[in-house]
């Protein structure tokens, strides 16, 4: 107990200070929720029900049927019918619609005569994900129609090939399922590291640290006393974020919530220990804030949050390997989406625990129990 | 816990030998040696930046000495820090408190830090509140206290564990005269009960109240001893000179006249009178007639002793002269 001397006193004081300092509490709790919702929606890459303009110059049963096939994919939504190809082009150019479908006169006549019936699809290429999705769907619709007609013409009922893909985990291919666990990892990183960094630097600035050094308090007592209240608060915050995930974004947790909670605590401990470590270097609160922000960008880009790590150059992949966020996101995706068990994610948890313990020990070693 | 040991009673509570502290190339404290007896009030004086706070910080184990040794309560501040810490209280210049916490919470926190719980904590808490009259402010946040009350709270926090030695770094800077006097009353009370006090200050009247004073100038301790002994130093009382206090109806003009006279070594204004160091050969009558010639009347001459200020001025002059 002796190396932790003073732990309970610091714990008592730190909880009071945190609760009395609405600004820090606000900075810890509010932005993460906003960021979570904003990130979650902004990273929505599912393209559905795109605004589409239609120019039907054929006016036949067949033309109406093919338009219906387009609409049935749920990718297109006809919001406008135009009378000329100029109007169609203008609708796309002015940004009123993403897609323009032009069925030229003689479409059904060509079809009946066994000639290639042409449909023109105008796509707004200024947004690549929208364009790609529109293109793929349009081509798929045409291909499927063609195959059906060829089969009919050949008198066969069955198609020669069929691939039956079965999507495991996230069958609806919803992007929130993929992104939101990562968003939680990044948001927690932004919100926690600075808190412990600031809190220790503030004591240094105010001179209260000097007062603590004179007391029989030991460094482990001080560091744990500083860390635990923030672990508690950021734990609550993580709980709120996971609640938003399953409530607002409708991402169910496939695996055990306990495993997820355990992984989150290990992750938070590592982040808070990092904050304490930064505070041993920072001269003032501004620097503490800047130091903790240095870790945010790599955590966004190299953790596999947005870009798959496997396709990264080795240097970025190595940076990612040093970040706790990388292992947390892997674990969270595993548990939330694939229903991974404790044994499945154990390697990641071991790394997280090691990072936390290592950072904390480093911090205790580096922390100078002296002034000057 | 180390109970006050009667065998240490005769040993000094604070003892520095050749204490030196450097920051890079700058020597903040240079070869300082002094000791403070148990139950005494040691006044530590010197201009800003002369090394006062550095000495305190070394004695509180906040800084390590670059050379020399320091012992507090018989324990070496470097090697026996953990034994020494429970014996000392420290009130820093800034009255470091937690602004978000109330007076009650600040006190409770320091109590817990020193291992007080439950009934013991409550008892000690009540004693401190009674002693410092903090009662009406218990639920006020420390940020909203005025200077005098902040200082009282900071002192209560430093006293929570009933230290044997209390270090106060400029405890009276920026507080009103009433609070200042009350603080000194408390300090005398502590000293009479055996506590050893180490106080830095800029005020000469406070220095006069101390049982022992030290004066640090350009990182070196240039005077240390009982105030009465210091006033008898030959540097302060040059042979063939005497100190007089001269009251008159126009001290300002008087000073202007006297500062041009060869047999007046120094002349200082002291309210409506002047403190002079003059040649022993110069008579009071000579002085009186000189002033009256210049239209200054109601002259009253009395012999006087040196003040501590005179002591420090003389010693500083000598130290500066020696350096030149």
Give per-residue pLDDT as tens, A249-263: 888 899 999 999 999
Alpha carbons A22 and A26: distance in angstroms, whole number: 6
Q: Which chain B residue has its CA at the smallest distance from A6's CA?
A: B113
A213 CB within 8 Å of a chain B CB:
yes
Same domain, B254 and B126: no
Record: contact A217-B113, CB cut-off 8 A: yes
Average pLDDT (B285-304) is 85
Does residue B106 fall inside a structural domain?
yes
**Least confident residue range of A11-20, A24-33, A306-315:** A24-33
pLDDT score, position A352: 96
Q: Greater confidence, B296 or A326?
A: A326
Same domain, B82 and B111: yes
Mean residue pLDDT across chain B = 88
Distance from CA of B114 to the nearest CA of A (A): 7
pLDDT band, residue B2 (cuts 50/70/90): very low
For B272, the enclosing helix (H) or strand (E) is none
Q: Indicate the length of chain A as a whole number.
A: 372
Alpha carbons B214 and B212: distance in angstroms, whole number: 7
Average pLDDT (B125-147) is 92
Exposed e or buried b per residue across B184-222, where buried means at least 16 C-beta atoms within 10 angstroms of its C-beta: bebbeebbeeebbbbbbbeebebbebbbbbbbbbbbbbb
Does residue B317 fall inside a structural domain?
no
Q: Greater confidence, A157 or B201?
A: B201
| Domain A50-154 CATH assignment equals 3.40.1710.10 | yes
Could you tell me what percentage of chain A is helix, strand and coil, using 3-state DSSP and rounding each to the nearest 5? 65, 5, 25
Structure tokens at B79: 């090697």
Q: Greater confidence, A169 or A330?
A: A330
Distance from CA of A306 to the nearest CA of B (A): 41
Check pLDDT > 70 for residue B235: yes
Question: Given B207, B230, B253, which residue is the final one in a domain?
Answer: B230
The domains of chain A are located at 2-43+174-366, 50-154
Tens digit of each residue's pLDDT (9 = 90 or more) over A124-144 = 888 777 788 888 888 888 888
Cβ-based contacts of B157 with chain A (< 8 Å): 211
pLDDT band, residue A112 (cuts 50/70/90): confident
**Least confident residue range of A59-73, A159-173, B101-115:** A159-173
Taking only residues 181 to 220 of chain B, the set having a beta carbon closer than 8 angstroms to any beta carbon of chain A reads none
Same domain, B49 and B185: yes
**CATH code, domain carrying B260:** 3.30.70.100
Same domain, B177 and B245: no
pLDDT score, position B6: 45
Q: ipTM greater than 0.85, yes or no?
A: no
Does residue B104 fall inside a structural domain?
yes
The number of helices, as runs of H, and strands, as runs of E, in chain B is: 11, 14
Most confident of A41-55, A190-204, B121-135: B121-135
Alpha carbons B137 and B144: distance in angstroms, whole number: 10
pLDDT score, position A45: 63
Question: Sign of the CA dihedral A220, A221, A225, A228?
Answer: positive
Same domain, B13 and B150: yes
Q: Which chain B residue has its CA at the smallest distance from A206's CA?
A: B96
Cβ-based contacts of A5 with chain B (< 8 Å): 115
pLDDT score, position B3: 44
Choose the closest CB to A371 out of B62, B108, B157.
Answer: B62
Same domain, B195 and B250: no
- Using CA atoms, how far residue B202 sits from A25, A175, A191, B205, B248, in Å, is 42, 70, 46, 9, 29
Average pLDDT (B258-276) is 86
Does residue B49 fall inside a structural domain?
yes
pLDDT score, position B90: 94
Choose the closest CB to B98 out of A6, A8, A13.
Answer: A13
Same domain, B146 and B293: no
Record: contact B114-A212, CB cut-off 8 A: no
Check pLDDT > 80 for residue A371: no
Same domain, B216 and B244: no
Does residue B323 fall inside a structural domain?
no
Alpha carbons A97 and A272: distance in angstroms, whole number: 48
pLDDT band, residue A178 (cuts 50/70/90): confident
Same domain, B300 and B200: no
Choose the closest CB to B94 out of A20, A207, A217.
Answer: A207
Q: Give the up-direction half-sphere exposure of residue A163: CA atoms within 13 A in the CB hemisphere.
A: 2
Tens digit of each residue's pLDDT (9 = 90 or more) over B162-195 = 999 999 999 988 788 888 898 999 999 999 999 9
Same domain, B139 and B282: no
Check pLDDT > 70 for residue A79: yes
Question: Given B187, B214, B230, which residue is the final one in a domain?
Answer: B230
Helix (H, G, I), strand (E, B) or coil at B247: strand
Distance from CA of A275 to the nearest CA of B (A): 21
Most confident of A2-6, A299-303, B30-34: B30-34
Domain range for residue B261?
238-305
Q: Greater confidence, B271 or A268?
A: A268
pLDDT score, position A372: 60
pLDDT score, position B10: 65
Same domain, B288 and B180: no
pLDDT score, position B157: 93
Alpha carbons B324 and B321: distance in angstroms, whole number: 5
Check pLDDT > 50 for residue B4: no
Same domain, B96 and B170: yes
Choose the closest CB to A6 out of B96, B113, B141.
Answer: B113
Number of domains in chain B: 2
Q: Are B195 and B39 in contact (CB under 8 A)?
A: yes
Choose the closest CB to B85 out of A206, A214, A372.
Answer: A214
Alpha carbons B28 and B315: distance in angstroms, whole number: 19
**Residue position matching structure tokens 């502290």:** B21
Does residue B184 fall inside a structural domain?
yes
Query: What percentage of chain A exceeds 90 in pLDDT?
Result: 34
B61 CB within 8 Å of a chain A CB:
yes
pLDDT score, position A44: 65
Most confident of A115-119, B2-6, B39-43: B39-43
Alpha carbons A4 and A227: distance in angstroms, whole number: 13
Which segments within chain A are labelled E, that is strand?
A: 50-56, 76-81, 99-103, 120-123
Question: Sign of the CA dihedral A283, A288, A294, A299?
Answer: positive
């Amino acid at each position: 107990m002796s190396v932790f001397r003073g732990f309970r006193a610091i714990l008592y004081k730190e909880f009071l200070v945190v609760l009395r300092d609405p600004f820090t509490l606000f900075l810890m709790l509010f932005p993460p929720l906003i960021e979570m919702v904003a990130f979650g929606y902004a990273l929505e890459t599912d393209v559905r029900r795109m605004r589409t303009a239609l120019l039907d110059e054929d006016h036949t049963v067949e033309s109406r049927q093919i338009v219906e096939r387009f609409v049935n994919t749920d990718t297109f939504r006809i919001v406008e019918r135009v009378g000329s190809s100029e109007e169609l082009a203008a609708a796309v150019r002015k940004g009123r619609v993403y897609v323009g479908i032009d069925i030229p006169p003689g479409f059904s006549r060509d079809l009946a005569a066994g000639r290639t019936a042409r449909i023109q699809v105008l796509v707004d290429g200024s947004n690549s994900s929208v364009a790609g999705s529109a293109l793929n769907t349009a081509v798929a619709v045409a291909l499927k129609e063609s195959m059906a007609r060829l089969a009919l013409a050949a008198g066969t009922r069955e198609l020669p090939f069929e691939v039956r893909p079965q999507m495991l985990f996230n069958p609806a291919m919803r992007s929130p399922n993929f992104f939101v666990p990562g968003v939680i990892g990044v948001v927690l990183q932004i919100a926690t590291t600075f808190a412990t960094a600031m809190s220790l630097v503030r004591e240094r600035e105010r001179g209260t640290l000097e007062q603590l050094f004179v007391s029989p308090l030991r460094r482990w007592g001080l560091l744990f006393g500083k860390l635990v209240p923030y672990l508690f608060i950021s734990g609550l915050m993580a709980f709120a974020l996971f609640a938003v995930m399953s409530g607002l974004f409708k991402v169910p947790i496939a695996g055990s919530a306990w495993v997820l909670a355990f992984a989150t605590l290990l992750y938070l401990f590592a982040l808070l220990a990092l904050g304490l470590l930064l505070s041993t270097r920072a001269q003032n609160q501004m620097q503490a804030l800047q130091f903790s922000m240095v870790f945010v960008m790599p955590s966004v880009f190299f953790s596999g949050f947005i870009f798959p790590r496997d396709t990264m150059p080795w240097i970025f992949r190595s940076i990612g390997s040093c970040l706790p966020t990388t292992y947390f996101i892997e674990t969270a995706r595993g548990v939330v989406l694939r229903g991974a068990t404790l044994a499945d994610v154990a390697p990641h948890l071991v790394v997280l625990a090691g990072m936390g313990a290592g950072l904390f020990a480093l911090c205790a070693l580096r922390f100078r129990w002296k002034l000057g | 816990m180390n109970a006050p040991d009667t065998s240490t009673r005769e040993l000094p509570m604070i003892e520095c030998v050749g204490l030196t502290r450097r920051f890079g190339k700058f020597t903040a404290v240079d070869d300082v040696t002094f000791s403070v007896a148990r139950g005494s009030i040691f006044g530590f004086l010197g201009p800003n930046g002369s090394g006062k706070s550095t000495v305190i910080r070394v004695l509180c184990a906040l800084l390590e000495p670059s050379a020399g040794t320091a012992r507090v309560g018989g324990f070496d501040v470097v090697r026996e820090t953990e034994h020494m810490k429970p014996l000392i209280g420290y009130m820093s210049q800034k009255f470091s408190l937690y602004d978000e916490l109330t007076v009650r919470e600040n006190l409770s926190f320091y109590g817990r830090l020193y291992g007080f719980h439950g009934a013991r904590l409550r008892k000690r808490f009540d004693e401190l509140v009674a002693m410092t009259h903090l009662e009406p402010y218990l639920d006020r946040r420390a940020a909203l206290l005025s200077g005098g009350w902040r200082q009282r709270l900071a002192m209560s926090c430093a006293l929570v564990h009933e230290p044997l030695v209390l270090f106060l770094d400029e405890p009276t800077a920026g507080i009103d005269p009433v609070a200042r006097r009350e603080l000194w009353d408390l300090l005398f009370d502590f000293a009479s009960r055996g506590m050893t006090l180490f106080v830095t200050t800029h005020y000469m009247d406070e220095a006069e109240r101390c049982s022992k004073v030290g004066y640090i100038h350009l990182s070196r301790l240039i005077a240390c001893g009982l105030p009465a002994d210091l006033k008898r130093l030959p540097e302060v009382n040059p042979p063939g000179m005497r100190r007089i206090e001269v009251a008159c109806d126009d001290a300002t003009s008087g000073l202007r006249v006297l500062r041009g006279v060869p047999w007046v070594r120094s002349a200082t204004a002291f309210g409506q009178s002047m403190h002079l160091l003059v040649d022993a050969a110069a008579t009071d009558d000579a002085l009186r007639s000189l002033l009256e010639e210049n239209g200054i009347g109601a002259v009253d001459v009395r012999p006087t002793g040196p003040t501590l200020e005179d002591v420090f001025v003389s010693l500083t002059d000598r130290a500066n002269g020696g350096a030149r």
